[in-house]
Structure 1
Amino acid sequence: MENNEAEKTKYEIALEKYNTDLSDNDIKAKVAALIEKNLAKNNTEEVKRFLFHCIDLTSLNTTDSTESILSFTEKVNRFADEFGDMENVAAICVYPNMAQVVNDSLEADDVKIAAVSGGFPSSQTFIEVKIAETAMAIMEGANEIDIVIPVGKFLSGDYEDMCDEIQELKDTCKENTLKVILETGALESASNIKKASILSMYAGADFIKTSTGKQQPAATPEAAYVMCEAIKEYYDLTGNKIGFKPAGGINSVQDALVYYSIVKEILGEEWLTNELFRLGTSRLANLLLSDIKGEEVKFF
């Protein structure tokens, strides 16, 4: 027995502290009940204004150019002039080679610069390349980095290599925020989502994020529920507050309200700040503005 314990990695030992034997059907039922009970009462203008302030306004297109990202950033700069009664988005999220364009042109207060990195969206490249790309994105002005776990390593049980990568990239980020994308649509089960959440947090994630938006299914309420439960259990055990970011497939105001409801019910009011809750989206900004203003708004 002692030999078996000695052979376990610190990550396998960490996983044993949590219940990762989950039933997908059970999670589905719990999510449906939570939404039915809480969605209507959270459908308020105050909540929608808060959700807008949690948006990582995202442009991750093959067609992105210096000109298009300048225009994108300029809209964020003008937001305060046009909507002075609202707080701005939380961050602008771009490819790493566009971080400097945002950094050089962003004038809005309290808006962060996020860059995807580490071989986004597949995470299939050398760790040396991931480290270099991350370091360069930070050097160019990014203060938040979004990376994807090496899903293949996770699914094949190579937790140590997966976690070592995350830890190296967190070391590269230093005091900058590291968001770790699980790509939940590729993880096959609620149990795997729970395990990947726990491992990512133990390896140094400041946030855990559902998806890249490049693979379907992207964010789902069920994945969000499991991830938020993992964050809560991790906090109860360690005292460390980890942020949560659903991303991909957030196509309506109702979708955003669903994620808000899950965070509020599982993690509580303490997590209802844009330092611990983000929404990765581009289309949601105009949808929320239109809903809040009571007329169609096409600002972004």
Structure 2
Amino acid sequence: MEENSLRSNKYEAALAKYNTNLSDADIQARVAELIEKKVPENNTEEVKKFLFNCIDLTTLNSTDSDESVMRFTEKVNKFDDEYPDLKNVAAICVYPNFAAIVKNTLEVDGVNIACVSGGFPSSQTFIEVKVAETALAIGDGADEIDIVISIGKFLSGDYEGMCEEIQELKEVCKERHLKVILETGALKSASNIKKASILSMYSGADFIKTSTGKQQPAATPEAAYVMCEAIREYYQKTGNKIGFKPAGGINTVNDAIIYYTIVKEVLGEEWLDNRLFRLGTSRLANLLLSDIEGEEIKFF
């Protein structure tokens, strides 16, 4: 029992170094002001081209098949020929059983293979299954792994259980990026989002990500703001730069520019690079492309 309480105290001690007692109304007001003052100046073609290069182009449907994922990947291959002046998407994100299909089909350089894993999207399965699924995805070619925290453990105060799972999955990933999804809509409050962000980074996350896109509300500017503040404070204390990925509910070009603006204002120019900033979306690629080219394009 004593060892257990020491271990859980370790996580409480990590949280104690940060201000996690946040006011939702205060965050809302700060974000509203930031959007009003700063978003218009970022509505430029240069920013839109950058955002396109930060997309994790995602297909996570129960109807996905080897054939549909192959076609999806072939579009990414064709993009380089059809739009030689634009940088391609950052990654293709699929279920683990399609990693090999993407790997065998993908012909362009600089596009990573990302897989959701660990019992995505609920994270409700045995740790042994999460480990096996992650190892299999990596074995089949995944460069990046996106997992969901054990939300039930977090909300019931079992920080140790939640954190040890992340640590175990990071060990499986080794040098490959582990993106940890907080499912911010289920966490409800800014304080919970801040705590989950810190615990995830402390446990080995290379990126923290807002949502699975399978639960509403998905990404919100308020959640993004709190997560970016946590990343900044964590960097100030540890020197470790953790990436940020909003995902789910990014439905317009303006939504994407809002997330860009939050990253730029809270974290600074250093984070404006697709090694530290991603957007998880399927519909945004065509919208950004249409905006950049000045006509409706349905390429993807």
Same fold (TM over 0.5): yes
Provide the rounded CA distance (Å) in 2 between the counterparts of 1:271 and 1:293.
26
Which amino acid counterpart does residue 100 of structure 2 have in structure 1? Q
Instruction: Report what 1:159 is aligned to.
Output: 159
2:77–2:106 Cα contact (<8 Å) kept: yes
1:51 aligns with 2:40: no
Q: Secondary structure at the match of 1:115?
A: strand
Q: What's the TM-score, normalizing by structure 2?
A: 0.98
Q: Which residue of 2 aligns with 1:250?
A: 250
The answer for the alignment partner of 1:86 in structure 2 is 86
- Name the CA distance, whole Å, in 2 between partners of 1:6 and 1:283: 46
User: Which structure 2 residue ranges, 5 or more long, are not aligned?
Assistant: none
In structure 1, distance between residues paired with 2:150 and 2:61: 22
Indicate the SS of the match to 2:81.
Answer: helix
Q: Deviations over 1:261-291 (max 9, x none)?
A: 0000000000000000000001000000000
Letter in 2 for 1:124: Q
C-alpha distance in 1, partners of 2:121/2:299? Answer: 28
- Residue 9 (structure 1) shift: 2.1
**Structure 2 counterpart of 1:131:** 131
**Match of 2:296, SS?**
coil
User: For residues 244 and 282 of structure 2, what CA distance do their matches in structure 1 show?
Assistant: 17
Contact kept? 2:8, 2:160, Cα under 8 Å: no
1:6 Cα deviation from its structure 2 partner: 5.5
The alpha-carbon deviation at position 165 of structure 1 amounts to 0.1
In 2: Cα distance, 1:37 partner to 1:228 partner = 18
Task: List alignment gaps of at least 5 residues for structure 1.
Answer: none
Q: Distance in 1 between matches of 2:153 and 2:56?
A: 28
Mapped to 2, the partners of 1:289 and 1:7 lie a distance apart of 49
Is the aligned partner of 1:217 residue 2:251?
Answer: no
Secondary structure of the residue that 1:270 maps to in structure 2?
helix
**Which amino acid in 1 is paired with 2:220?**
T
Q: State the match for 2:64 in structure 1.
A: 64
| Moved >4 Å (runs of 4+) | 5-8
Aligned twin of 2:190: 190
Letter matched to residue 121 of structure 1: P
Instruction: Return closer, same or farther for 1:291/1:226 CA change in 2, 3 Å cut-off.
Output: same
SS in 1 for 2:28: helix
One-letter code aligned to 2:196: A
RMSD value, Cα? 0.9
Counterpart amino acid of 2:78? R
Q: Matches of 2:113 and 2:104 in 1, distance apart?
A: 11
Distance 2:6 2:250 in 1: 44
**Is 1:95 paired with 2:101?**
no
Summarize deviations over 1:88-111 as a string: whole Å, max 9, x none.
Answer: 000000000000000011011100
Provide closer, same or farther for how the CA distance between residues 207 and 61 of structure 1 changes in structure 2, counting only shifts above 3 A. Answer: same
User: Which residue pairs with 2:13 in the alignment?
Assistant: 13
Q: What is residue 37 of structure 1 aligned with on the other side?
A: 37
Q: Secondary structure at the match of 2:39?
A: helix
Structure 1 length-normalised TM: 0.98
- Establish whether residue 113 from structure 1 lines up as the match of residue 122 from structure 2: no
CA distance in 1, matches of 2:141, 2:220: 31
Q: Which digits, 9 at most, give the CA deviation of each residue in 1:198-249, with x for residues without a partner?
A: 0000000000000000000000000000000000000000000000000000
- Note if contact 2:183-2:218 (Cα within 8 Å) is conserved in structure 1: yes
Letter of the structure 1 residue corresponding to residue 33 of structure 2: A
SS at match of 1:9: helix
Q: d(CA) in 2 for partners of 1:205 and 1:237?
A: 16
The amino acid that maps onto 1:154 is F
1:230 corresponds to which letter in structure 2?
A
3-state SS, counterpart of residue 208 of structure 1: strand
Partner of 2:22: 22
- Partner amino acid for 1:288? L
The equivalent residue for 2:286 is: 286
Q: Return the alpha-carbon distance in structure 1 between the equivalents of residues 93 and 133 of structure 2.
A: 15
Counterparts of 2:153 and 2:46, CA distance in 1: 42
C-alpha separation in 2, matches of 1:16 and 1:108: 45
| CA distance, structure 2, for counterparts of residue 85 and residue 30 of structure 1 | 37
Residue 22 of structure 1, CA deviation: 0.2
Amino acid at match of 2:222: E
Are 2:189 and 1:178 equivalent residues in the alignment?
A: no
Name the counterpart of 1:264. Answer: 264
Q: Which residue of 1 aligns with 2:199?
A: 199
**Cα separation, 1, equivalents of 2:8 and 2:49:** 47
1:144 aligns with 2:144: yes
Per-residue deviation, 1:116: 0.1
In structure 2, the residue corresponding to 1:121 is in which secondary structure?
A: coil
Change (3 A) 1:7 1:152: closer
1:74 CA drift (Å): 0.1
